[in-house]
A and B are shown apart, each in its own frame.
Chain A
Amino acid sequence: MKKEIKHTFFFPHPKAIVWDYLTKPELVSQWLMENDIKPIVGHKFKFRASPAPSIDFDGICYCEILEVVTLKQLSYSWKCSPTDNGHKIDTVVMWTLTPKDNGTELNLLQTGFKEHENEMFYMAMNNGWAKNIEKLLQKISSN
C-alpha cells in the first residue's frame, strides 16, 4: 500500500524544453490540465480537471508555488476536495529535472499526506490483523 506517489520519466529533450512544459500555462494545459501557473514562489493557481465522483473529487486542485530552482526543481502545494475543515487532500507535488544520456530525467514526487493518514495507511497495510480477527470471531461464534 502506498503512502506517496513517485514517477520517473525520461525525455530525449534538453531540460529547458521539459521545464517549459512544467511552467508555461499554455504548454502545461496540453498534457496536464487547464491552469494559470507561474513559476513564482507564492503564486496561487488552480488546475481544472474532470471531476471524479467515485472519490468525491470535484476536479479542481488548489495550488501554490512553494519552490522554484529554474531548470532544476519546481514544487507546489496540491489541495483538492474542500471540506468543512480544509481539504481532503493536502499534499505537495515536487518535480525534479536531471540531465541524463542526451536528455532529461523527470521525477515526480507527491507527498505530504497527513501524518495520521499515513499512520492509517500503514495500519491498513498490516493485513495480519484481519486474519486474527476472523479466527477470533469463529471461536466466539462456535462457543
Chain B
Amino acid sequence: MKARTIDAFQVIADPSRRQMMHLLSKDSMTINSLAENFDMSRPAVSKHIKIMYNAGFISIKDIGRERYCTLKQDGFNELQDFINYFDKFWTNKLNKLQSILNNKSKK
C-alpha cells in the first residue's frame, strides 16, 4: 500500500479509516489513544494515519510528547468537488439542450 498515491475516494473506501475519522469527528485524539480503539499493530495504525494525512483528511500537531490528530476539511472537499463538478456539468448541458430545442421551434 503506497501512502502517497491514494485519492480521497480510496481513503474513505477503507472501513478502519472511516472508523478513525468517526472517532476524530468527536474529538481530536493522540495517535496512541486512537490506536487503542483498533485491534491492529501500531505501525498499521500509523500507516492509515499517514494516508489520511496525505489526502488532507486530518492534520497532526505535536503537543508536548504527544501527536494529536484532528479532522480536516480538505479531504472532504475533494469528494464534494466531484459532485459539484457534475452538478454544474449537467446544468450547462441542459441549458444547451434548451437553447437547441428553442431554436428548433422557431424555425
Contacts and interface: CB of A to CB of B under 8 A. Distances in A.
Interface of A: 1-3, 5, 7, 9, 11-13, 17-18, 21, 30-32, 49, 52, 54-57, 83, 85, 88-89, 106, 108, 110, 113, 116-117, 119-121, 123-124, 126, 129-130, 132-133, 136-137, 140-141
Contacts of B77: 124
B60 to A, nearest CB: 12
Interface in B18-66: 18, 21-22, 25-28, 61, 63
A133 B63 CA distance: 15
6 contacts: A12-B105, A52-B85, A108-B94, A123-B76, A124-B73, A129-B71
Given A7-B91, A54-B81, A120 B12 contact: yes
A140 B93 contact: no
Given A32-B97, A133-B27, 12 more contacts: A9-B94, A9-B97, A13-B104, A17-B104, A30-B100, A31-B96, A54-B85, A83-B7, A85-B10, A88-B7, A110-B86, A120-B18
B12 A116 contact: yes
Contacts, number: 111
A140 B105 CA distance: 67
Contacts of A106: 94
A32 B22 CA distance: 39
Contact of A126 (B7, B25, B68): B25
Q: Which 6 pairs between the two chains have the least Cβ-Cβ distance?
A: A124-B76, A31-B97, A31-B96, A129-B25, A120-B12, A88-B9
Contacts of A120: 12, 18, 21, 76, 79
